[in-house]
Chains A and B, each alone.
Chain A
Amino acid sequence: MTDLLLVAQNIVGGLGIGCVYALIALGFSLIYRTMGLVNFAQGSLLMFGTYLGLTFYMGLQGMGRFSPLIAFLAGIVLCGTIGIGLERLFRPLANLDLSYILVGTIGIGIMLDNIANHIWGSEGLVVPAPIPNHELNIGGVRISPYIFLVMAMTALLVVGLQLFLTRTNFGRGLRASAQDREIAACFGIPVNLMNAVAFAVGAGLAAAAGLLIAPMVYVNPAIGNSLGIKGFVAAIIGGLGDLPGAVIGGLLFGVIETVISGYISSSYTDLIAYLLLTVILIVRPEGLLGARTIEKV
C-alpha cells in the first residue's frame, strides 16, 4: 500500500515540477514557432529573470524587500524586456544554419550567466517559500502546499497566454505572423513587433518558471543550464512549436523524472533525460503531437 502512496506522492511532486518545465517548454516553442529559431539562451534567461525577481523578493544588492507578487511580476516584466532586446539582436539569425543560431544564442547565454555571476556572486541562495509551507498529509500522501501554488500560477499563466493568443488582436496577429511571415506582413501586421512580443513572452515565461521553482531548489547562477535543457526536452516531446504539446510534454517529463528518481540517484535521472531526448529525436522527432512536414522536390 505504501508503494502506491509513494508513487502518488511522486506523481503530485512530478506534476509540480512538470508545471515549471511546461512553462520553460512553452517559451521555447513560442519563440521557435514565431521566429524560427531555437533559443538556447532560454536557460540563462530563466536564471537571470529569477535573480531579478529574487532581488526584489529577498532584498538582494541593497534593494528593499517587496511582496512576493510584486517581486514575481517584476522578475517577469524585467526579463521580458531583456527578451525584447534579444529579439532585436537575433533578428538576422532567424533562418540561418543551426550552427549560427546555436553559437549566437549560447553566446548570449554565456554572457547572461557571467553577468549574473558578477552581480550576484556564485554562491547559492536559499529562497523561502512565499506561503506557509508545512507539509500536508492528504490520505497518507505527503505534499507541500507550495506545489499547489506552483500549479495554480502555471495554470493562470497558461490560460492567460491562451486567451491572449486567441482573444486579443495582438495575439491573433502573433499567430498569423507565426504561420506565415510574409503574408502576415502583407496584411499590415508588424512582424518584427510580433517577434519581439513572442520573445518577451518566452523570456517572461522562463523567469516565471525559475521564480516558481526557486523555493524548491538551491538557487545559483548555474540552475539555468540544467532546467533549460530539460525544458527543451519537454518541448521536443510535445513537438517543438506546438504550444499545447509543450505543456503536456512538460507535465509528462516532470512526472516521469520524479517517479524514476524515486528509484535511482539524481544524476542518473539527468542521464535518462538526455537519453530520452535522443530516443525521441530518433524515433519521432516531431514529438508526440507535432506534425510531419514534407519537403517539395
Chain B
Amino acid sequence: MSKLWLQRWRGPLFWLALAIILAMLPLVTQLDPFWAHIVNEVAIYVILATGMNLVMGYGGQINLAMGALFGVGAYSTAFILLHNGNFPLALVSSALLGTLVATLIGLPALRVRSHYLALVTLGLGIALNILFVNWEAVTGGAIGLTSIPFASIGSLPFDDETKMSYLFFGIMLAMVLMAAVFVHSRFGRNLKAMRDDLIAARAMGINAAIYQLTCFAFSGFYAGVAGSLYAVWLSYISPTSFDLNQSIFILAQTLVGGMGTLIGPVIGAVTLVGLQQYLLSFGDLQLIIYGALIVVLVLVARGGIVGGLAALWQLLTCRIRREKKAAAAAPSNHETGAGAPATIGGSPANGSPTQKERMGNR
C-alpha cells in the first residue's frame, strides 16, 4: 500500500531532499572541526548506504561483503598515497578495484539463488578480511596503515576536517545523483520489475543474473569510493573497520532509512552515525543499546523511517478522503480503475476472485 504511494512520490521527495541539502551548503562551509568531522563521517556512510541500497533495495540481494569492499577501497588509496601517488589517481583506482572485486564476489550470482548469495557474500567478506589481517606487505597486517597522506587535488591540500568536508560533501552529492540517474533509467525500471516478479521479468527477456551482477559491481564502486575517502579522513586504517560488523552497520542504516528509496540511505546514515555519536557517552553500554535498537528496528519499523512517514501520510490522507466521502453522497463503488479510492487488496466490482485468492498458489 504505502509502497505504491512511495513510488509515485519518490521523485518529488527526492528533489525536495536535494533542495534541502543544497540549502545547507552555506552551513557546511562554516563548520568547526567537530561538526566537520561528523559531516565527513556521514558523507562516507551515505555513500556506503547508497551503494548497499542499490544492491539490496533495487537489486534484491544482500551484500555482506560491503565492509570488506570498503576495505579494498581504503587500502588501495592508502597504498597509492603512501607510495607517492596523487589523490585523483587513488580515488579512481579505489573505485575501479572495488568494482572489480565486487564483480568477482558477485559472479556466483550467476549460479546461486539470492538466499544463498547473501551467505556467499558473508563468507567471502570474512575471507577478504582475513586477507587484510595477514597480507602485511600491502595492508600492514593487523596493525594497519598509519600516516596516510592527506588528499590533495593539484596543489590544494585537504588537510583539516573543514576542508575535507567540501571534498567529501561534493563527492557524496555526486554519488547520490548518480544513484538517482541509475534508478530512473531503463536499467532501474527493469530492476524494479525483477523485484516485483522475477519470473515475469525473465519472460520479458531480462537476463536477471547479469542485472544482479551489475548491481553488485555498482555497490563495489560505491564502497571503493567511500573507502578512498575513509583512508584520507583519519590517516589511519586497520582491518577491524572492514569486518562483518561494518557490513551489518551499513545494512542497518539502509534498513533504518528505508530500503528501495533514494533518500532512505541518506536518512539512515545520518540517523545511525548521529546515534553512534550520541551513544559514545554511554561508554560500555553503547553496543548493547545499539544491538537492542537494531533488533527493535527490525521487529517494529520494517519500512524504515521513510516507510513510517509514508504510512503516516497514508493514514492522514485516507482519513481526509474518508471524511470527504462521508460529507458528499458517495458514488457507488462499481467503477474501479484509475481514480477509484484505494482499498487494501480490494476486490474488483465485477465479482471476480480477489487478488489474494488469485495469487494464492504462488
Contacts and interface: CB of A to CB of B under 8 A. Distances in A.
Task: Report A-B touching, CB under 8 Å.
Answer: yes
Interface of A: 89, 92-93, 96, 98-100, 102-104, 106-115, 117-118, 229, 233, 236, 267-268, 270-271, 274-275, 277-278, 281-282, 285, 296-297
A278 B361 contact: no
A107 B127 contact: no
A104 B113 CA distance: 22
Contacts, number: 116
B131 A271 contact: yes
A99 B133 contact: no
A278 B299 contact: no
Contact of A114 (B113, B116, B133, B288): B288
B251 A102 contact: yes
B118 interface: yes
Interface string B115-135: 110111011101100110110
A121 B285 CA distance: 13
Contacts of A274: 123-124, 126-127, 130
Contacts of A102: 62, 64, 118, 248, 251
Q: Which of A98, A99, A115 has the most CB of B within 10 A?
A: A99
A282 B123 contact: no
Contacts of A233: 123
B302 interface: yes
Contact of A282 (B108, B199, B284, B297): B108
Interface in B92-109: 108
Given A98-B62, A297-B199, 14 more contacts: A100-B298, A102-B118, A107-B291, A107-B297, A111-B287, A111-B295, A114-B284, A115-B288, A270-B126, A277-B119, A277-B120, A278-B108, A278-B120, A285-B112
A102 B285 CA distance: 22
A275 B125 CA distance: 10
B291 A108 contact: yes
A108 B292 CA distance: 7
B290 interface: yes
A267 B133 contact: yes
Contacts of A110: 245, 287-288, 290-291, 294
A267 B113 CA distance: 29
Contacts of A103: 248, 251-252, 255, 294-295, 297-298
Contact of A275 (B127, B199, B255): B127
Given A103-B251, A114-B288, A98 B56 contact: no
A277 B123 contact: yes
B111 interface: yes
Contacts of B119: 236, 277, 281
B254 to A, nearest CB: 8
Contacts of A270: 126, 130
B298 A104 contact: yes
A271 B127 contact: yes
26 contacts: A93-B298, A96-B302, A98-B62, A99-B118, A103-B295, A106-B248, A107-B292, A107-B293, A108-B295, A110-B287, A110-B291, A114-B287, A115-B288, A118-B284, A229-B126, A233-B123, A274-B124, A274-B130, A275-B127, A277-B122, A278-B108, A278-B124, A281-B116, A281-B123, A296-B361, A296-B362
